[in-house]
Amino acid sequence: MTRRILTTPALLCALMLGALAPLGAAHAGTAWEHAHPRRDQVLDRTQHLNARIRHERREGELTAAQARRLHHQVRATRLQQRDMARDNGGYITKAQQAGLNQRENAISRRVGP
């Protein structure tokens, strides 16, 4: 009985992707995300907060007014981050990131679990 080696394009792609998966995790993201990791982290959190607010509103855990207020606070945080970066050559400092994270933590507690 002879062994047959499968060489279909799909199998080759799967093997290549499996071999490169560990590398992809370390190199995921855009050039901007690599150049601005603090800003990226803050912006990722604002997107996540907005998604949570929408979810809680759909589930009836938040009223329309509460959701609107929370979205406004998230937007204010995002705009503050942008202003900080503009004043600092496109970057935010660790201290600025910590302050923005505190604001986002406060908003997150108001959104709920």
pLDDT average, residue stretch 59-75: 97
Q: pTM above 0.85?
A: no
**Does residue 112 have a pLDDT over 90?**
no
Residue 67 inside a domain? The answer is yes
Q: What is the pLDDT of residue 9?
A: 55
Q: Which residue has the tokens 């080696």?
A: 5
Residue 111 inside a domain? The answer is yes
Residue 72 inside a domain? The answer is yes
Q: What is the pLDDT of residue 40?
A: 94
Residue 18 inside a domain? The answer is no
Residue 113 inside a domain? The answer is yes
What is the spatial distance between Cα 83 and Cα 94, in angstroms, rounded to a whole number?
Answer: 15
Instruction: Give the list of residues 6+ apart from residue 77 with CB closer than 8 angstroms, or none.
Output: 42, 46, 100, 103, 104, 107
Mean of all residue pLDDT scores within the chain: 83
Q: CA geometry: angle at 88 spanning 35 and 90, to 5°? A: 35
Domain that holds residue 98: 63-113
pLDDT average, residue stretch 20-44: 75
**Does residue 59 have a pLDDT over 70?**
yes
Q: What is the pLDDT of residue 32?
A: 84
